[in-house]
Amino acid sequence: MSTLQKKISISEIKKHNSGDSAWIIVHDQVYDCTHYLKDHPDGADNILINVGSDCTEEFKSIHSNKAKKMLEYYKIGELITTGYESSPNNSVHGVPSSNLYPIKEAAVVVRSVALVPREKIPCKLVTKTSLSNDVRLFRFALPNEEQTLGLQAIMRDPEDHTEMYVVYANRMENDILMKDELDRWAAENYDIVKVCYVVQETVKEEW
């Protein structure tokens, strides 16, 4: 493990988001995993999907105690956090509160596109449906009702004539998720949306 334990800002960490320089945050500690990419048991992609960001929950949920100890070898510093301890006579910045000026809240900007590569977007779980003994269907709401996903954005824009072909492969027809929605979208947008289902085996004659 490196003996250099410096304070590192989140803006600096975000710059190291590729295979050439792969930094991650776990429990407010910063780790440089660049040289471990080729040795990761599940492949480099499982690290690269989180580089330049905080992956504490992801790391905790799937890694053993042995892996957690190994991580310490790659520690290069500590994340600079914005919180400070306060006292009755001090502000959060350690300055007497009587000398503080009010802080104006920044305007919230709603992006038209909800999902952004390598950025974690909080989405609320709306429903959870049990489809079989080992399959669950989770439906999430986008952060803002004005936002759309790629497929929806194309279908809603009358000026966008992008043609989309969806080839959906499953083992059996009962494994197909969102079939009703896909069929409806294809019917409502028959000129630009084509859906083709492929199954390995079937019990229905029409398949």
For the chain, what is the domain count? Answer: 2
Distances (CA, A) of 34 to 21, 51, 134: 5, 10, 37
CATH at residue 23: 3.10.120.10
Task: For residue 104, report the phi and psi dihedrals to the nearest 5 degrees.
Answer: -80, 135
Question: So what's the pLDDT on residue 91?
Answer: 34
Residue 29 has pLDDT above 60, yes or no: yes
Q: Does residue 138 lie in a domain region?
A: no
DSSP string, 194-205: EEEEEES--SST
Q: Does residue 100 lie in a domain region?
A: no
How far is the C-alpha of 56 from the C-alpha of 50, rounded, in Å? 10
Q: Does residue 22 lie in a domain region?
A: yes
Question: So what's the pLDDT on residue 37?
Answer: 93
Q: Which of residues 61, 79, 97 is at a domain's end?
A: 79
How far is the C-alpha of 80 from the C-alpha of 54, rounded, in Å? 13
Task: Tell me the per-residue pLDDT of 78-134, one tens digit each, with 9 for 90 and over.
Answer: 998 865 343 333 333 344 444 444 545 445 555 666 777 667 777 888 898 887 777
Give residue for tokens 């390995």: 200
Q: Residue 176's domain spans which residues?
A: 146-199
Q: Which of residues 57, 79, 101 is at a domain's end?
A: 79
Task: Tell me the per-residue pLDDT of 142-197, one tens digit each, with 9 for 90 and over.
Answer: 888 777 777 778 888 888 888 999 999 988 888 888 899 899 999 999 999 999 99
Q: Does residue 115 lie in a domain region?
A: no
Q: Which of residues 26, 60, 79 is at a domain's end?
A: 79
